[in-house]
Amino acid sequence: MKTSITKLATAVGASVALLAAGQAAAEIKIGIAGPMTGPVAQYGDMQFSGAHMAIERINAAGGVNGEEVVAVEVDDVCDPKQAVTVANRLVNEGVRYVVGHLCSSSTQPASDIYEDEGILMITPASTSPEITNRGYELVFRTIGLDSMQGPVAGSYIASQKPERVAIVHDKQQYGEGIATAVRDTLKDSGIEIAMFEGITAGDKDFSSLVTKIKQADVDYVYFGGYHPELGLILRQARQSDVDAKFMGPEGVGNKDINTIAGEAAEGLLVTLPPSFDQKEENKELIAAFDAKGEDPSGPFVLTSYAAVQLIAEGIAQADSKDPYDVAQTLRSGSFQTPIGTVQYDQAGDMTSFEFVVYEWHSDGSKTPVN
């Protein structure tokens, strides 16, 4: 009796396993992990919108090697603790490819889990150099690095020949990383850094900081961080008649800064990836976004689209669903995507990615600065 129960259990177990394998064969699950809620949810919207479009178009064209691509969406709220939780959930759901996460501080702990579990991850937005410098095999990105963005901002400020510059950051991986890169570039050009200071993300009162900036009598203020804090700083600085020019990374460049800062956002300088949606070769894709009533102009829409496309092409070219084979293919090939030709180095970074300086306007539009 005992043996028959064991046999039965084994049989049931085996058939469940078979069933699971059978299901997995019919579709390719791609996890999309980013903030659906929380203070930076609008970036998550860009990510989900881009990834959805890519999945729809891939499926409409017959899927990957005849298999349908299915999205598994999770919300990490841009919180490192939550990121670990959702990464584990993706592992449990049997996802083997992830597009995400968005905030560097979430991507970092999540990528540890993916690497350990043999899941391939492409982040469309995290720019912290730390993410790809740990020798991981399965971690890629479709965006540049802080170490590229910082120097672009730093050399732009240096080219304006300011006498003194203030640098403020939010003490988080992303913000402090870029701020440090900007500081180093400016120091190399011999420009005086009047202050280099951290604030607490989530704070509302920046009156002391603004007073300090005013007293330091600087020409430029560089802020490493996201728009909720910079928006308030801009607004409070304008109320105190600070006339310095403000500049920030792509984390501040979205329309929500206008609702917070209002008129004070006029003239803000932002380093952003070039407007991929303005490119001639993306016309047909942009029309598809317009037809859905979605805005493809956000900085992470097309990087997310490209991330999904790379996973799909990687699987198709490798003719294998093993993430390690796909990673190998991605590293060796060259891919045409809406963000240009993508080639990877050994670390999982794109061999070239460009950042451009834009001037932000109080109506939420932007113009490139030359």
Partner 1 sequence: MQDLLYFFQQLINGLTIGSTYALIAIGYTMVYGIIGMINFAHGEVYMIGAYTALIAITGLATLGITWLPLVLIVALICAVLVSSSMGWAVERVAYRPVRGRHRLIPLISAIGMSIFLQNYVHLAQGSRNIGFPALIEGGFQFGSEDTFPMSISYIQITIFITTLICMTALSLFISRSRIGRACRAVSQDLGMANLLGIDTNRIISATFVIGASLAAVAGLLLGMYYGSVDPLFGFIAGLKAFTAAVLGGIGSIPGAMLGGLILGVAESMTSGYLSGEYKDVVSFSLLILILLFKPTGLLGKPEVEKI
Is 199 among the residues that bind partner 1 (CB under 8 A)? Answer: yes
Provide the H-helix boundaries in 38-162: 41-60, 80-92, 104-117, 146-159
CA distance 76 to 22: 30
Contact residues for 72 (Cβ-Cβ < 8 A; gap 6+): 29, 30, 31, 32, 90, 93, 95
Is 262 among the residues that bind partner 1 (CB under 8 A)? Answer: yes
Structure tokens at 59: 């499926």
Is 345 among the residues that bind partner 1 (CB under 8 A)? Answer: no
CA distance 244 to 222: 10
Least distance to partner 1, CB of residue 258, Å: 8
Nearer to partner 1, 209 or 350 (CB): 209
Interacting span for partner 1 (CB under 8 A) from 106-114, 144-152, 238-246, 307-315: 238-246
The DSSP output letter for 361 is: -
- Rounded to the nearest 5 percent, the helix, strand and coil shares of the chain are 50, 20, 30
- Residue 99 vs residues 15, 96, 110, 114, 280: alpha-carbon distances, Å: 31, 10, 12, 11, 26
Could you say which residues in the range 205-234 bind partner 1, by CB under 8 A?
205, 207-209, 211-212, 214-215, 228, 231-232
CA distance 241 to 120: 49
Nearer to partner 1, 125 or 152 (CB): 125
Nearer to partner 1, 141 or 238 (CB): 238
Torsion angle of C-alpha atoms 257, 263, 269, 271, degrees rounded to 10 = 20
CA distance 191 to 188: 8
* Pairing of the two strands 192-198 and 164-169: parallel
Is 261 among the residues that bind partner 1 (CB under 8 A)? Answer: yes
Interacting span for partner 1 (CB under 8 A) from 36-44, 97-105, 278-286, 292-300: 36-44
Interacting span for partner 1 (CB under 8 A) from 26-34, 126-134, 202-210, 273-281: 202-210
Structure tokens at 357: 């300086």
Choosing from 76, 250, 256, 349, the residue that interacts with partner 1 (CB under 8 A) is: 256
Is 201 among the residues that bind partner 1 (CB under 8 A)? Answer: no
Least distance to partner 1, CB of residue 334, Å: 39
User: Rounded to the nearest 5 degrees, what angle is found at the Cα of 75, between the Cα atoms of 306 and 300?
Assistant: 30
Is 352 among the residues that bind partner 1 (CB under 8 A)? Answer: no
Is 198 among the residues that bind partner 1 (CB under 8 A)? Answer: yes
Nearer to partner 1, 119 or 199 (CB): 199
Is 274 among the residues that bind partner 1 (CB under 8 A)? Answer: no
Is 95 among the residues that bind partner 1 (CB under 8 A)? Answer: no
Is 203 among the residues that bind partner 1 (CB under 8 A)? Answer: yes
Q: Count residues near partner 1 (CB under 8 A).
A: 35
SS3 assignment, position 99: strand
Per-residue binding string, partner 1, 158-177, x by CB under 8 A, is -------------x------
Structure tokens at 11: 């049989």
- Residue 14 vs residues 1, 8, 96: alpha-carbon distances, Å: 20, 10, 22
Q: Could you tell me if 230 and 257 are in contact, meaning their C-beta atoms sit under 8 angstroms apart? A: yes
Sequence letter at residue 190: G
Nearer to partner 1, 161 or 204 (CB): 204
Altogether, the residues listed in the chain come to a count of: 370
Nearer to partner 1, 159 or 207 (CB): 207
Choosing from 60, 66, 92, 202, the residue that interacts with partner 1 (CB under 8 A) is: 202
Nearer to partner 1, 39 or 333 (CB): 39
Per-residue binding string, partner 1, 116-155, x by CB under 8 A, is ----------------------------------------
Binding site for partner 1 (CB under 8 A): 37-39, 41-42, 171, 197-200, 202-205, 207-209, 211-212, 214-215, 228, 231-232, 235-236, 239-241, 256, 258-262
